[in-house]
Amino acid sequence: MDERSNKNNEEASVEKKDDFEIKEAPKKESSIRTYAGDISNLIRKGVSLSDVALSEQKRNLEKGSGSKLINERKESQKKNKKIIVGSLVFIILGLLVIGGSFIFKKEDKIINNLEIIPLISSNSSQELSLEGLDRIEIFKKINQNRLSVQNVLGSVTNLVITDGSEENKILVSTSNFFEKIDVRARQSFVRALGDKFMLGIHSFDGNQGFFVFEIKSFENALSGILDWENLMLDDFWPMLYEERPKTRVEEEGGIAREESFEDIIIKNKDTRVLKDIDGNFILVYSFPDRKHLIIATKESTMIEAIDRLTRSRAQN
């Protein structure tokens, strides 16, 4: 009886333990995807590991080839940009060279069967005939032509001085031109100049006239022009100005006289200049080399003439 009673008690205690048994909460499925979890799901769906490995390898190859293609495209774009920029630079340089050759080339033109080879490069040429004109008329015609020139700023126009009828037209030489306008320089100076000369119009700060002469004897030309300085303005101003510029006057021994030319340096060249009462240039002349003489009215025109003469010599 006691054994039966103990057995009943043990069964009762087991039933109580069952009543108080702690049940584990069901595991929640993680919302975070992992590489291992994705593979596990694929295996449960019947996909083999070899298929997963092949698929992964293919994806990596596609990813690698895609990035490689992008890099190749970027490199190609960079190369194309460099080629385009380089081509544009060469094109611009080519245009500058071609344009410069047209702007600064020495003109070889023919006017009424006369071959015109200016002493410096010019942008255009105009004939100016002295046929039948006296000294005063020549001055007026040259000045009128100077004022009427319409050209691009900074350009130079070559006024080609001719004489004679249409059938017998000739280029006027330096000595013939000086004779026609009655220049009061020594004959040794005139003989020191070559036959060719150029009357140019520089379109800058108005239309500035200037002369370029060939030199046969530098020593005689230099001494001759120094002797001519006191009369140079009176001989040349009617071609270069509308009225005679007023020069500065100085007193010497109670006698008033016009100030003379003074020495300056332009473009590293020894230059002589005559100034008006305000200190502005009236006439300026220089020997840029031993073969040429330039007479101008402005420093800017003298600089332009020297630069063009230098370019003309470089092209020969």
Residue 117 has a pLDDT of 82
For residue 182, pLDDT over 90 is answered with: yes
Instruction: Determine the Cα–Cα distance for residues 66 and 56; give it in Å rounded to an integer.
Output: 15
For residue 13, pLDDT over 80 is answered with: no
| Structure-token pair, residue 254 | 């109670």
**For residues 209 and 68, which has the higher predicted lDDT (pLDDT)?**
209
Tens digit of each residue's pLDDT (9 = 90 or more) over 220-245:
999 999 999 999 999 999 999 999 99
Residue 3 has a pLDDT of 47
Amino acid of residue 36: A
**For residues 33 and 209, which has the higher predicted lDDT (pLDDT)?**
209
pLDDT band at 38 (very low <50, low <70, confident <90, very high): low
Q: Are 266 and 299 in contact (CB under 8 A)?
A: yes
Q: Are 283 and 236 in contact (CB under 8 A)?
A: yes
For residue 61, pLDDT over 60 is answered with: no
Q: Is the dihedral of CA 250, 252, 256, 259 positive or negative?
A: negative
Mean per-residue pLDDT, 141-164: 96
**Nearest to residue 224, comparing CAs of 182, 185, 271, 194?**
185
Amino acid of residue 94: G
Question: What are the DSSP E strand ranges found in 239-306?
Answer: 249-252, 255-258, 262-266, 269-275, 281-289, 292-296
Q: Are 181 and 174 in contact (CB under 8 A)?
A: no
Q: Are 287 and 297 in contact (CB under 8 A)?
A: no
Instruction: Determine the Cα–Cα distance for residues 205 and 304; give it in Å rounded to an integer.
Output: 13
Task: Locate all alpha helices (DSSP H) within the chain, ordered by sequence.
Answer: 2-19, 35-44, 49-104, 135-148, 174-180, 187-192, 218-240, 299-315
For the chain, the domains span 51-104, 108-315
Tens digit of each residue's pLDDT (9 = 90 or more) over 78-136:
666 667 766 676 566 555 544 444 444 444 455 556 778 889 999 999 999 999 999 99
Q: Are 282 and 245 in contact (CB under 8 A)?
A: yes
Q: Are 305 and 294 in contact (CB under 8 A)?
A: yes
pLDDT band at 34 (very low <50, low <70, confident <90, very high): low
Residue 19 has a pLDDT of 45
Instruction: Determine the Cα–Cα distance for residues 32 and 56; give it in Å rounded to an integer.
Output: 20
Global confidence as pTM: 0.65
**For residues 9 and 234, which has the higher predicted lDDT (pLDDT)?**
234
- Residue whose tokens read 């205690």: 13
Instruction: Determine the Cα–Cα distance for residues 286 and 270; give it in Å rounded to an integer.
Output: 6
- Distance of alpha carbon 115 from the chain centroid: 32
Pairing of strands 156-163, 124-129: parallel
Per-residue CA distances from 169 to 112, 129, 131, 152 (Å): 8, 9, 9, 30
Q: Is the dihedral of CA 165, 168, 169, 174 positive or negative?
A: negative
Tens digit of each residue's pLDDT (9 = 90 or more) over 240-292:
999 999 997 776 666 667 779 999 999 999 999 999 999 999 999 999 999 99
User: What is the average pLDDT value for the chain, to the nearest integer?
Assistant: 80
Of the spans 13-27, 166-180, 237-251, which averages the highest pLDDT?
Answer: 166-180
For residue 67, pLDDT over 60 is answered with: no
Residue 114 has a pLDDT of 73
